[in-house]
Chains A and B, each alone.
Chain A
Amino acid sequence: MLVVGIRLEACQPDSLGQVFPQDSIRLDFKSLTSGVEAKMSSKMPSSNNIAQARRTVQQLRIEASIERIKVSKASADLMHYCGEHAKYDPLLMGIPASENPFKDKKPCTIL
């Protein structure tokens, strides 16, 4: 069940002096009924609950059956990838001003 909480705030003009009604209403988008685990209630067994429980078990069977590699190998592969690609990573290596398309090139004035 989706429950949306609505909080009304006073309409404040923004820096441009504009007031937008939708900005004055803060919506809690997220449902307030999100659960953490499948609740298998035994108090009122219905065909719905059984069907849901069967689906949960089926999904767990899939997830239990996968092949897993060792964390040492997973870590080594991540480190290797970072190492191999570091020199091509502009945010990591820094970009020389002459090669930076985003840097504004200001003309030099000779005094």
Chain B
Amino acid sequence: MGEMEALRKEADNLKDQITEARKVVQDTTLQEAVAGTALVGRVQLKTRKTLRGHLAKIYAMHWGTDTKFCVSASQDGKLIVWDTLTTNKVNAIPLKSSWVMTCAYAPSGNMVACGGLDNMCSIYNLKGKDGNVKVMRELAAHTGYLSCCRFLSDSEIITSSGDCTCVLWDIETGTEKTIFAGHLGDCMSLAVSPDFKMFISGACDFTAKLWDIREATCRQTFSGHESDINAIGFFPNGNAVITGSDDATCKLYDLRADQELVTYQDSGIMCGVTSLAPSLSGRLLLAGYDDFNVNIWDMLKAERVGVLAGHDNRVSCIGVSSDGMACCTGSWDSFLKIWN
């Protein structure tokens, strides 16, 4: 009993210390700092392409790096690699398990990955010798569903899971290199920093955690959301993190100040955020919501400056291409749309 009591006291003290240390550096707020900055003008994007082909809800999409190709995953049991300029399907990959929740494109363009209720991350080689796309590895060790996956390279991938952990895998050997444990609820989403040294995870414990990939430690934990965090992303310079939650808000947390800078909310928005992506400069935040819309926020002024209305069901995923030229939305209505 004695040690438990002492540990609880120390934990409370440390939490107070962290709260205090965050207050000490709060010499202003982002809102005050940007008071003299003009709001960006109304952003009106048009649907340029509609990618048709999936036969059921789309759960995830991911752009390739330095390319106009993207991959999407649907519960029709297919992964489709699209040439978004022509709307042609480059690959249509049938999956063993149709309960897919996430997909990812390797930066090299050589592989894609997906996973879901099968608790596994399956890696597919797009550049096989005979031209057929085959399963290269099945990464199995999670005891819960696979919610998200992101490649670091052709040999390493990070996954997040409903078992509350994230894992760094060696694709070659198919084994776990590092297990990142600490979240107290299902991990729903992850994003890798622009320099590939860190990653962030958002979970159903309402927190986001920053992890050092090589040190295998959790560096920081960010609270404030009042419900599950479904979506997470890095601000383009890697110094801040954006989260989207079932509490109908998005939040911006600065890593070096170790605190929330602003909340993106509107009394008219009462449904959860499913997905998010910053524009190339970071000035715009595009966020997908359960009410079938995407709201575009001025990230500095925290005001809505545009809406993408075009889907007939929940927007489940969103991504901005690496050159910033286009935004892609995927929906439960089975279509993907390219906007700019």
**In the complex, what's the smallest C-beta–C-beta distance from B43 to chain A, in angstroms?**
7
User: A34 near B228 (CB under 8 angstroms)?
Assistant: yes
Using A34-B186, A82-B300, A102-B48 as known contacts, say yes or no to A29 and B68 having CB atoms under 8 A apart.
no
Using A82-B283, A90-B340, A102-B338 as known contacts, say yes or no to A63 and B257 having CB atoms under 8 A apart.
no
Using A22-B99, A71-B259, A89-B283 as known contacts, say yes or no to A63 and B18 having CB atoms under 8 A apart.
yes
Contacts of B205 in A (CB 8 A): 34-36
User: A102 near B340 (CB under 8 angstroms)?
Assistant: yes
Contacts of B141 in A (CB 8 A): none
User: B5 near A92 (CB under 8 angstroms)?
Assistant: no
Binds A, one of B27-35, B107-115, B130-138, B166-174: B27-35
Q: Could you tell me the distance between the alpha carbons of A35 and B326 in the complex, rounded to whole angstroms? A: 38
Task: Indicate if B21 sits at the interface (CB-CB under 8 A).
Answer: yes
**In the complex, what's the smallest C-beta–C-beta distance from B303 to chain A, in angstroms?**
14
**In the complex, what's the smallest C-beta–C-beta distance from A102 to chain B, in angstroms?**
4
B-contact bits for A42-78, CB 8 A (1 contact / 0 none): 1001000110011011011111101011111111111
**In the complex, what's the smallest C-beta–C-beta distance from B281 to chain A, in angstroms?**
4
Task: Indicate if B309 sits at the interface (CB-CB under 8 A).
Answer: no
Using A31-B185, A78-B239, A102-B48 as known contacts, say yes or no to A66 and B219 having CB atoms under 8 A apart.
yes
Using A2-B144, A59-B182 as known contacts, say yes or no to A92 and B40 having CB atoms under 8 A apart.
yes
Task: Indicate if A7 sits at the interface (CB-CB under 8 A).
Answer: no
Task: Indicate if A8 sits at the interface (CB-CB under 8 A).
Answer: no
User: B221 near A63 (CB under 8 angstroms)?
Assistant: yes
Task: Indicate if A91 sits at the interface (CB-CB under 8 A).
Answer: yes
Task: Indicate if A9 sits at the interface (CB-CB under 8 A).
Answer: no
Binds A, one of B9-17, B121-129, B151-159: B9-17
User: A101 near B257 (CB under 8 angstroms)?
Assistant: no
User: B98 near A78 (CB under 8 angstroms)?
Assistant: no
Using A36-B205, A81-B236, A100-B340 as known contacts, say yes or no to A72 and B281 having CB atoms under 8 A apart.
no
Task: Indicate if B217 sits at the interface (CB-CB under 8 A).
Answer: yes
Question: In the complex, which range does the number of interface residues on chain A fall in?
Answer: 35 or more
Q: Which residue of B lies closest to A27 (CB)?
A: B117
Contacts of A76 in B (CB 8 A): 33
Q: Could you tell me the distance between the alpha carbons of A33 and B22 in the complex, rounded to whole angstroms? A: 30
User: B11 near A78 (CB under 8 angstroms)?
Assistant: no
Which listed residue (B186, B286, B299, B334) contacts A82, Cβ 8 A? B299
Q: Could you tell me the distance between the alpha carbons of A22 and B59 in the complex, rounded to whole angstroms? A: 14
Task: Indicate if A11 sits at the interface (CB-CB under 8 A).
Answer: no
Q: Which of A34, A40, A103 has the most CB of B within 10 A?
A: A34
Task: Indicate if B319 sits at the interface (CB-CB under 8 A).
Answer: no
Binds A, one of B49-57, B88-96, B263-271: B49-57
User: A42 near B1 (CB under 8 angstroms)?
Assistant: yes
Q: Could you tell me the distance between the alpha carbons of A101 and B204 in the complex, rounded to whole angstroms? A: 39
Task: Indicate if A111 sits at the interface (CB-CB under 8 A).
Answer: no
Using A53-B7, A78-B239 as known contacts, say yes or no to A34 and B14 having CB atoms under 8 A apart.
no
Q: Could you tell me the distance between the alpha carbons of A62 and B203 in the complex, rounded to whole angstroms? A: 20
Contacts of B221 in A (CB 8 A): 59, 63
Using A79-B34, A101-B68 as known contacts, say yes or no to A23 and B56 having CB atoms under 8 A apart.
yes
Show 14 A/B contacts (Cβ-Cβ < 8 Å), sorted by A.
A14-B56, A30-B204, A34-B203, A34-B228, A35-B184, A62-B217, A68-B25, A68-B256, A70-B28, A72-B27, A85-B282, A90-B326, A91-B324, A92-B40
Question: CB within 8 Å of B: which residues of A?
Answer: 2, 14, 16, 18, 20, 22-23, 27, 29-31, 34-38, 40, 42, 45, 49-50, 53-54, 56-57, 59-64, 66, 68-79, 81-82, 84-86, 88-92, 95, 100-104
- The 10 nearest A-B residue pairs measured at CB: A34-B185, A85-B281, A75-B33, A89-B281, A102-B48, A60-B14, A34-B204, A74-B257, A53-B7, A74-B254
Beyond A63-B219, A89-B284, A90-B280, 17 additional contacts (C-beta under 8 Å) are A2-B162, A34-B186, A34-B203, A35-B184, A35-B205, A53-B7, A56-B7, A68-B256, A71-B26, A74-B254, A78-B239, A79-B300, A82-B300, A86-B283, A90-B325, A91-B284, A95-B325
